Amino acid sequence: MDTAAHSHPRRDLGMVILVTCLVFLPGLAGSFVWDDAMLVLENRLTASPQFGRVAWWQALFTTDLWATAPKSVGPTGYYRPLFLLGLALDGALFADSPMLHRAHSLAWHLLAVGLFWRLLVGLAFSRFATLVGVAWFALHPLQTESVLFVSARNDVMATALLLGCMVWLLVRRERWRAVDLMGSGLCLVAACLAKESALVAPVLWAVIAWTCGGTQLLKRVQPWLSLASGLLLEGVVRWLSGVAMPDSTWPPFELVGKAAAWSARAVVWPFNLSPAVHLAWVDPHPWWALGVVCLGMVGLTVWRRGMAAPLLFALLAWAPTLVAVEQTRLVSLRYLTMPLVGVAMALALAVHIGTKTARTWHRRAALGWTTLLAVACALAVPMWHDDVSLWTAVEQRTPSRYATGALAKVWDDLGDLDKAAQLYEEAAVGPLPFWEACYNVSDVHLRRGDAAAAVQAGERALSEGCRPTPELVAPTALAHALTGNWPRAEALALQVDQDPTGKAVVVRTAASVRSGDLSAFADMSSDDAVGLGNRVVWLLQETGETDAARPLQELITTKR
């Protein structure tokens, strides 16, 4: 590539940033969605930051990301203290304002856009190619997740800081100063502390060096020392934190293929995107998109050998996301934020080369596709307004029992138990029922006050393949008791070992009280006896067993 200086007016960047702000602006008015309740609003470490306490800072840099949630899911290996620090600043400055939290994420995205523009300018891309590449990166609809889903901000943070690392190395590549190398290394450390996928920095530098003109820049030692120092420092910080790397095996080939197909579909056809594709339930898979990407990569590489470098970066930046896919079987749009750098760079390179020989049609095609991209992004923004709009879109675009169950939980949390009950039942059917729907399918009918429906839903869920967990069996046992089927109620209650719901204990105790046995209350403290006794009395009275309940009521009176 020609390394001569080109005219790149800053108004091009200003225009892209203006359009990006206009597209994303409606999304700032939305509410917190998905995991934001746990990672943002109820975060034990950042919701009420204590910047003046050394112990708080120590916890910030020694804690697994998900260990900060109100309900810890155990060690995940996700070490992202810089992301947590950003959430803490949000909590201190913005309280629980979703608009300002999202504005913070948008600021990181705009920073990434500006740094990507500076990178392409430094690589001497033509003005038009730079504009197309930056617009593609800024306005691709998959970016809506990293910007409008606050819990996904770490992806755009890591991407922006990684681009900053590369710009430090690129701006004065003819003669590096110590400040350039130090700035690059520190940006890399910060990127890795935002998300582990920034460890691909050496690959991105190899891409840039190759794009700059071949192996000459690759042979220089200084950038490699800067990158190695940054990675070493991040490794030391992580080792001192005590947070281990994610404990995950490489996913099976079939799973990799499915994840690649959905990722390719999101990149090459960015319309009606779904931010949560659960590979265990969604079928069929868009193999056509993976075929298009593979053929395109081969074709572009044959056309110009230099095209392989940015495409290779996109592939290697995507590869670490397979760790999360293997753990959750979930493919999300935010996993493509960093790989999109490579895709956009390849597109810019193709436009840069193509406009030399096919100026008119190439410009029209690139501008037309970029306009469509902006429209698609604007249409994707409303999906992130709230949980109802988000999961309704997921269920419509990639129908699955996972999406239906997630939407049911949203309606459940909002108090619309009728809608929740219907959706839970749809999600708790075989051959692979959604586990969370199985947990709630019977209990939601109890909360609706319909014991007969709870019996029917619970028994059907058990026959459809739902695991006999306490969350399913105990409410079903209670529903049977409420409808007068005590033999089945007691049989189910006896299957429950550890009962977090407390319902199976009530059924078993009520069955004993019906036979005149009050021994269960003999060794209980007064408070425990009164608490359990009141629930048992309620159950017996609901089923018309007032005579059986009378001795227990007398016992409760003496315990008070």
Confidence tier at 560 by pLDDT (50, 70, 90): low
Flag whether 235 is in a domain: yes
Is position 97 within any domain?
yes
Last residue of a domain, one of 384, 402, 425: 384
Angle at 100 between CA 96 and CA 106, to 5 degrees: 135
Domain of residue 558, residue span = 491-560
**Burial group, residue 516, by CB count within 10 angstroms (0-12, 13-18, 19+):** exposed
Residue that terminates a domain, selected from 362, 384, 406: 384
pLDDT over 90 (residue 430):
no
Residues in contact with 211: Cβ distance below 8 Å, sequence separation at least 6, in sequence order: 1, 123, 306, 309, 310, 345, 349
CA gap 287, 330 in Å, rounded: 17
Q: Are residues 373 and 499 in the same domain?
A: no
Least-confidence region, from 134-143, 149-158, 236-245, 463-472: 236-245
Residue 459: exposure state from Cβ atoms within 10 A (0-12, 13-18, ≥19): middle
Position 357 pLDDT exceeds 60: no
* Environment class of 361 (CB within 10 Å of its CB; exposed 0-12, middle 13-18, buried 19+): exposed
Averaged pLDDT for residues 394-417? 93
pLDDT of residue 104: 95
Same domain, 60 and 175: yes
Which residues share a beta bridge with 331? Answer: 277
- The answer to whether position 42 is within a domain reads yes
Q: Tell me which residue of 436, 396, 399 sits closest to 420, measured CA to CA.
A: 436
Average pLDDT for 451-469: 93
How much is the average pLDDT of 358-382?
Answer: 78
Q: Please indicate, yes or no, if residue 37 is contained in any of the structural domains.
A: yes
| Better pLDDT: 190 or 529 | 190
- Give the pLDDT score at 295: 85
How sure is the predictor about 2, in pLDDT bands with cuts at 50, 70 and 90?
Answer: very low
Report if residue 81 sits inside a domain.
yes
Residue pair 507/490 in contact by the 8 Å Cβ criterion? yes
Q: Name the domain boundary from 369, 384, 399.
A: 384
For residue 477, being part of any structural domain is answered with no
Number of domains into which the chain is organized? 2
- Is the residue at 522 inside a domain? yes
At 283 the pLDDT is 84
The predicted structure's pLDDT at residue 247 = 67
Specify if 132 maps to a domain: yes
Render pLDDT for 294-332 as a digit per residue (tens, 0 to 9).
888 888 777 766 677 788 888 888 988 888 888 888 999
Residues 183 and 300 in one domain: yes
What is the predicted pLDDT for the residue at 1? Answer: 46
CB 116 within 8 A of CB 133: yes
CA 290 to CA 265: how far, in whole Å? Answer: 7
